[in-house]
Amino acid sequence: MIRQLTGSERQLAAIMLGLVAVVGVAMAAAGRNDTMGVHGLIVMLFAGALMYPLFSAIGAPEPTEDREASYYDDPIKVGIVLSMIWAVFGMFMGVWVAAQLAWPGLAFDGAWSTFGRLRPTHTSGVIFGFGGNALIATAFHVVQRTSRARLAGQISPWFVLFGYNLFCVLAVSGYLMGVTQSKEYAEAEWYADLWLVVVWVTFFVLYLRTIARRKEPHIYVANWYFMAFIVVVAILHIVNNLALPISWGSAKSYTVWPGVQDAMVQWWYGHNAVAFFLTAGFLGMLYYYLPVRAQRPIFSYRLSILSFWGITFFYMWAGSHHLHYTALPHWVQTLGMTFSVMLLVPSWASAGNALLTLNGAWHRVRDDATLRFMTAAAIFYGLSTFEGSFLAIRPVNALSHYTDWTVGHVHAGALGWVALITFGSLYTLVPSLWKRERMYSATLVEVHFWLAIAGTLIYVFAMWNSGVIQGLMWRTYTGDGALAYSFVDSLVAMYPYYIARTIGGLLFLIGAIIGCYNMWMTVRAVPETVSRQGDLPVAATVPGE
């Protein structure tokens, strides 16, 4: 990896790592005994850990081959590995917190291991760690292949990838120490947020510059989705995290948004994180890897354009459906509800487009578990967007809000759509990136698929049941107008569903671990594809062209 870099690029990387380490020292000095001091130490260790591979190869001979003749795949490979590590970590934390709800003793009386601290390590671990790394890796892959151009930088892809992972490490380690902004999916504190801005803007510039170098005149639609993901996440992140630290040496900060405006900004962020982090980028994967795997072009390219603009413009307004029956002005709630219902049109356009692409290739879906991963993802995408539009309707929300139904809905999307499309894409990507004939074991892909499906269904059905029961128990009145059940009554009724949920999550986790093993063995044990050097058109091999 380091051998691909020229001498001056290696020096630049060393200087950048040195600067990061200096920032770490400054944070440790300013923070002292505050959690920020510990984070300073973590930043130093992170930079030091990256210096090791850099300096062990810094004197190696420079690359002699023409780098522009091939795509830049090293950062993608590392991104896939990081993504799978985060998947196992994040899903394990999910199973643990799920088990804590059934058996509270599993917190082991530690402060760091209470539900409130562990839950964000699960959400950030799977959304940002697993999903984010997969998005960065596939974005780097798709933009190069569809633009027919190499990434527009040698160091910046590494900066984006490792910088992003430093953010994830700071976020997750902070939660365990009790650092939080108390904003859902934006719990990380101000210095981590500032760092993410730097990383994300670099990502944006890198993506734009690569598109600008394209040899293919038309920008394929998957790139539009990835661009929307990058641009909008930058906007959301900056606006929602505007905050003033109580001092330069403290991890604690206060948001600039007061009262109900804070709630509105937070859920504008929160729902668009679902829209642009967990949907737009993954639709980019869907529009590239599904046609490639099925070896059929997308059913309707026009429809993909219309659904792109539909999703981009409708989603922006949907966030206020999280604040039904609150102090938020009624018309803003209604606006959010209306746009959420309208969203069904572009969402189903994408899901239908994906499924119609497979029309005529259903035998492949039957035989190939990787393609089936993506097919199931499209189906779950259709189902969970329908459920989302439905739950956003105010009277429905009166029953579902604050219950496990919401949790079930999120996991229908996160497990059924996001994780399945990611696994399908990675199973397509791993053999092609490492130039292997196939995955190590098709049977294990099949096992992973069925574990993931079974886990998702168990999870979602358990949460539907418990959510509806909760909602009904909370709104049941006796003849004289008092509440029929106490909160604890409803909690006791949840017990079997919480156990079922833990089992569903555990099956999903086991599937992911099997996936890791299968990918590892693919790289280690499957022979490389025989080079097709002799099977190219003559013109392409003429030197000097």
Partner 1 sequence: MDLDHDTVVAFSKSWGLFYLMGFFLCAVVYAFWPANRKRFDRAKNSILDQDDKPWR
Residue 109 makes contact with partner 1 by CB under 8 A: no
| Cα angle 24-169-456, degrees, rounded to a multiple of 5 | 170
**How far is it, in rounded angstroms, from Cα 288 to Cα 301?**
12
Candidates 58, 243, 292, 468; binder of partner 1 (CB under 8 A) is: 292
Select 220 or 440, whichever has its Cβ closest to partner 1.
Answer: 220
What is the identity of the amino acid at 172? V
- Return the residues of window 251-290 that contact partner 1 according to CB under 8 A: 288
Residue 144 makes contact with partner 1 by CB under 8 A: yes
**How far is it, in rounded angstroms, from Cα 251 to Cα 261?**
23
Residue 149 makes contact with partner 1 by CB under 8 A: yes
Candidates 103, 248, 254, 313; binder of partner 1 (CB under 8 A) is: 313
Q: Quick one: which of 210, 209, 318 has its CA closest to 267? A: 318
Select 136 or 349, whichever has its Cβ closest to partner 1.
Answer: 349
Candidates 52, 64, 259, 302; binder of partner 1 (CB under 8 A) is: 302
Select 203 or 220, whichever has its Cβ closest to partner 1.
Answer: 220
Residue 298 makes contact with partner 1 by CB under 8 A: yes
**How far is it, in rounded angstroms, from Cα 234 to Cα 231?**
5
Instruction: With contacts defined by CB under 8 A, name the span among 182-190, 264-272, 307-315, 389-397 that binds partner 1.
Output: 307-315
Shortest reach from residue 301's CB to partner 1, in Å: 4
Select 19 or 235, whichever has its Cβ closest to partner 1.
Answer: 235
3-state secondary structure 78-140: HHHHHHHHHHHHHHHHHHHHHHHHHCHHHHCCCCCCCHHHHHHHHHHHHHHHHHHHHHHHHHH
Instruction: With contacts defined by CB under 8 A, name the span among 140-148, 176-184, 320-328, 382-390 that binds partner 1.
Output: 140-148
Per-position DSSP letters for 399-468, written without gaps between them? HHTTSHHHHHHHHIIIIIIIIHHHHHHHHHHHHHHTTBSS-S-HHHHHHHHHHHHHHHHHHHHHHHHHHH
**How far is it, in rounded angstroms, from Cα 328 to Cα 285?**
36
Select 247 or 529, whichever has its Cβ closest to partner 1.
Answer: 529
Select 216 or 437, whichever has its Cβ closest to partner 1.
Answer: 216
- Return the residues of window 162-221 that contact partner 1 according to CB under 8 A: 215-218, 220-221
Tell me, by CB under 8 A, how many residues bind partner 1.
34
Select 252 or 296, whichever has its Cβ closest to partner 1.
Answer: 296
Structure tokens at 20: 């990061």
Asked if residue 340 lies in contact with residue 384, where contact means CB atoms within 8 angstroms, the answer is: no
Instruction: With contacts defined by CB under 8 A, name the span among 100-108, 177-185, 298-306, 500-508 that binds partner 1.
Output: 298-306
What is the identity of the amino acid at 206? L
**How far is it, in rounded angstroms, from Cα 326 to Cα 260?**
9
Select 108 or 331, whichever has its Cβ closest to partner 1.
Answer: 331
Q: Which residues are near partner 1 by CB under 8 A?
A: 68-71, 144-146, 148-150, 215-218, 220-222, 288, 291-292, 295-298, 301-302, 305-306, 309-310, 313, 331, 432, 545
